[in-house]
Amino acid sequence: MLKNKTYNRKKIVTIFFVCLGIFLVLGGRLVYLMVFQSDYYTEKAKELHERERSIKAARGRILDANGTVIADNKTVCTISVIHNQIKDPDKIVQVLSKELDLSEEYVQKRVEKYSSIEKIKSNVDKEKGDAIRAYNLEGVKVDEDYKRYYPYDSLASKVLGFTGGDNQGIIGLEVKYEEYLRGKDGMILTVTDARGVELDAAGEERIEPVPGNDLYTSLDMNIQSYATQLAKQVMETKEAERVSILVMNPQNGEIMAMVDVPEFNLNDPYTLPEGNEGVTEEKKQELLNAMWRNGCISDTYEPGSTFKIITAAAGLEGGVVTTEDQFNCPGFIMVEDRRIRCHKTTGHGPENFVQATMNSCKPVFMKQRMPDILMLN
């Protein structure tokens, strides 16, 4: 009997400690979840209950010297699905894959994903967006935003640059003046219950977007267009790889045109010229960078004969030479131990300064006016 009592007590004590152990473990877990993991789960719950939809800010436009818009925005749509509001997933998969030209598996995966809002496709044409909205599918959201659009396609492409998927500048003026052009996105914040149904009582918080600033440039698209035609002609006749033309206002240094042909289409900047199909990703990026490169700014080139304008202007202004001064070009000139040849190796012979400039004659620009006595021979 006594033995039995001790046995029972032992049993009770054991059970007590087992229970205590279990409670300690559970309590510990609770503390861990509520105290240490609190931020993580709060965030998760918020993600599920609060639905954020951004309202894209209109990016500032870029204008030329005459006020012509050369980089503009057009309205496009972003299509998203809200998991908890979907009633007919099969229909949604079928409609969206057909309208958006996406594979059914791709749409299915996003429709089935348990998230508060899932983006299916952005930069969708407005007509397409309207068409999808017309289906009135529950759980499908069509939000409007902006996409960069360049009315002149390839004109001044390397100067203007273009924007990426998030409307951020990638090259050219678009990236240089990003902070002014960008603007500030707005937001629509809605609170939902656990099943994802929007709560009317909680209301909708709306932060309006701030549009970006317009950028006024000194470029003149008429001059740009003429200069581009000229550059293309020269490229063809000289069979050159590249031709650059810069038109500058000498009074203030404003750039009126900057051409670097071949240019590329700003509305389709990731397509390489024909004949580059099937290259590796790495090679493609290399070719794209080369295609976007603005030689007028990024490359150096010896000024060569164009610098004769500076020499001539300095000489005339300093009174060292007059337009009537006589020179003689024997086809070369010795400078120390170097024989520098004129491009006309047989020599231009006797010529005055105007003729020498017209001939782009090297020896004349390298020496001083001849003493009259030397002119005789």
What part of residues 58-77 is at the interface with Zn ion (CB under 5 A)?
Answer: none
Taking the least distance from each CB to Zn ion, the nearer of 203 and 330 is 330
* Closest distance to Zn ion from the beta carbon of 337 (Å): 21
In the residue annotation, 97 being an active-site residue is answered as no
Residues 89-118 touching Zn ion, rule: CB under 5 A, are none
Considering the rule CB under 5 A, would residue 312 count as an interface residue with Zn ion?
no
Least separation in angstroms between CB 336 and Zn ion: 20
Query: Cβ closer to Zn ion: 139 or 347?
Result: 347
- Which 313-372 residues touch Zn ion, going by CB under 5 A? 329, 342, 348, 361
Q: How near is the Cβ of 306 to Zn ion at its closest, in Å?
A: 17
Q: How far is the CB of 304 from Zn ion (least distance, A)?
A: 15
Catalytic annotation, pick one of 80, 103, 115, 305: 305
Q: Which is nearer to Zn ion, 209 or 347 (CB)?
A: 347
- HEC-encoded secondary structure of the chain: CHHHHHHHHHHHHHHHHHHHHHHHHHHHHHHHHHHHCHHHHHHHHHHHHEEEEEECCCCCCEECCCCCEEEEEEEEEEEEECHHHCCCHHHHHHHHHHHHCCCHHHHHHHHHCCCCCEEEEEEEEHHHHHHHHHCCCCCEEEEEEEEEECCCCCCCHHHHCCECCCCCECCHHHHHCHHHHCCECEEEEEEECCCCCECCCCCEEEECCECCCCEECCCCHHHHHHHHHHHHHHHHHCCCCCEEEEEECCCCCCEEEEEEECCCCCCCCCCCCCCCCCCCHHHHHHHHHHHHCCHHHHCCCCCHHHHHHHHHHHHHHCCCCCCCCEEEECCEEEECCEEEECCCCCCCEEEEHHHHHHHCCHHHHHCCCCCHHHHCC
Residue number with CB closer to Zn ion (86 or 342):
342
Tell me the C-alpha distance between 206 and 247, whole Å: 47
Closest CB 363 distance from Zn ion, rounded Å:
5
User: How near is the Cβ of 305 to Zn ion at its closest, in Å?
Assistant: 12
Q: Which is nearer to Zn ion, 242 or 343 (CB)?
A: 343
Could you tell me how many residues of this chain bind Zn ion (CB under 5 A)? 4
Q: Which is nearer to Zn ion, 83 or 348 (CB)?
A: 348
Q: Summarize as ranges the residues that interact with Zn ion (CB under 5 A).
A: 329, 342, 348, 361
Q: Which residues are catalytic?
A: 305
